[in-house]
Amino acid sequence: MRTPHAFLMCPPEYFDVSYIINPWMHGNVRKIDNALAKQQWRALYDILTDLATVRLVHPQPGSPDMVFTANAGLVLGRRFLVSRFRYPERQYEEPYFADWFMDRGYEVSLMPRDIPFEGAGDALLDRGTPRLWFAHGHRSVAAAGEVIAARLGCDVVTLRLTDQRFYHLDTCFCPLEGGHVLYYPEAFDAPSRAAIERRVPAARRIAVGEEDALAFACNAVAAGRTVVVNRASAAFVAAVGRAGFSVVQTPLTEFMKAGGSAKCLTLRLDEG
Ligand code: ARG
């Protein structure tokens, strides 16, 4: 069960919904049960520590969304490209994430000031080929994909997100080992769907229905052959099972009030 993977997480000490920057947050300002959030975060942490190494970054008061470490930036080998958050509410997180990587000897670089980019929320490495799936439309801008391609020299496939509820790529798309991909096709525009279908053979595409997508089933932490999600239907578990993966479900309802779940709460460190 134990994999060579490593993830970065941030304890939910200051987690809350204190502003609205995505549709999931509407009606949830100050509605977080922090004790329950801590319990749910701890359950995810315990599952992941059995599967991989988990490292922690110190939470910061005034940065309630810092628990969503997926958005810290993009890791590639020993390089780290720090996010440039679209909304000022999350920009306070940037230096803390930059410091964490700097202190550990990573080669840290910044996006140009005027180019919003939200890290592994919108940039996901394929698990079968060296390509990087990058999405814009809500948070990151298209130009960020060009900066990544130029600076990190990877083959970037640019996708466009069209449904507000799926505002980050990792809410509707998840590359799995062996080149499989979990995705919710309706979250993308037609050219993007075609771009995915051109590159991933039908037998490796696991298209997820709306109900699973809204339960954040695509927001999966993949560790080897295990896929950890908030909640998934029997059909999802069967489809993922046919591809050779087992599904672990752990409720993350408090984090969904902020628009995030399992994958958003982690940043994979062993990349590239
Ligand atoms: N409230 C956070 C935001 O809107 C949630 C981030 C979820 N993270 C993710 N990688 N999808 O930025």
Name the pLDDT band for 271 (thresholds 50, 70, 90).
Answer: very high
Q: Which residue has the tokens 């449904």?
A: 163
The CA 10 to ligand 1 mean position distance, Å, reads: 13
Average pLDDT score over residue span 187-192:
98
- CA of 256 relative to ligand 1 center, distance in Å: 9
By most ligand atoms within 8 Å of CB, the mutation choice from 17, 22, 32, 89 for ligand 1 is 22
For 213-231, what is the mean pLDDT?
98
* Closest of 226, 221, 223, 231 to residue 256, by C-alpha: 231
What is the pLDDT averaged over residues 234-246?
98
**DSSP string over 89-148:** HHHTHHHHHHHHHHHTT-EEEE--TT--B-GGGTEEE-SSSS-EEEEESSSS-HHHHHHH
Quick one: pLDDT at residue 272?
A: 83
Which residue ranges have their beta carbon within 6 Å of ligand 1?
21-22, 65, 68, 70-71, 90, 121, 168, 170-171, 258-260, 264
Per-residue pLDDT tens digits for 105-160? 999 999 999 999 999 999 999 998 999 999 999 999 999 999 999 998 989 999 99
How many Å lie between the centroid of ligand 1 and the Cα of residue 203? 30
Return the bridge partners of 157, or none.
133
Spell out the residues 6+ positions from residue 241 whose beta carbon is closer than 8 angstroms to its own. 247
Q: What are phi and psi of 102, to 5 degrees?
A: -60, -45
Residue 1 scores a pLDDT above 80: no
Closest residue by CA, ligand 1 atom 7: 260
> All domains of the chain, ordered by start, with CATH?
6-268 (3.75.10.10)
